[in-house]
Amino acid sequence: MNEETQSDEIYGHYAPPVRQRLLQLRRLILETARKNAAVGDLQETLKWGQPSFVTVKPKTGTTIRIDKDRSEASDVVLFVHCQTSLVSEWRVLYPHLCYGGNRSVHFRADEPLPEAEISQMVSMALRYHLDKTRRTTS
């Protein structure tokens, strides 16, 4: 299955404004992964019915999921595993963003996506296991 067909299947059930925002997030995730040589192969799949991105070879990071927020707005959410320290680290780096507990960061539909911040957060998630190993051996 080619990338375009896969995207249509995954994102096709979202309303157009949400789909557009999720595709922006998807683009940022894929671009960030391509720019980071340590990340390796990235697989796009569905987990819990949400578009998800998993490092496979090597397994350097934690899964990233994206979805529509449960609010009535067309807000979108970037999720990571709740047992990572990522959201805590992001709160320190980017206190102006909106977080959901210890597993997500929310982006408002009526504001531009903070691309630089998202790229940094995605890079941290895609390198989570690699960086965690380096932190514990230092």
**Rounded distance between C-alpha atoms, residue 55 and residue 8, angstroms:** 21
- Torsion-angle region of 98 (φ positive above 0: left; ψ -120 to 50: alpha; else: beta): beta
Residue 126 parent element (H or E):
helix 115-126
* pLDDT number for residue 130: 73
Residue 13 neighbours by CB under 8 Å, 6+ apart? none
What pLDDT sits at residue 119? 97
Lowest-confidence region among 1-10, 19-28, 46-55, 65-74: 1-10
Q: Count of CB atoms within 10 A of residue 125's CB?
A: 26
pLDDT tens digits for 52-96? 999 987 788 999 999 999 877 779 999 999 999 999 999 999 999
Domains, the chain, ordered by start: 3-137 (3.90.1150.200)
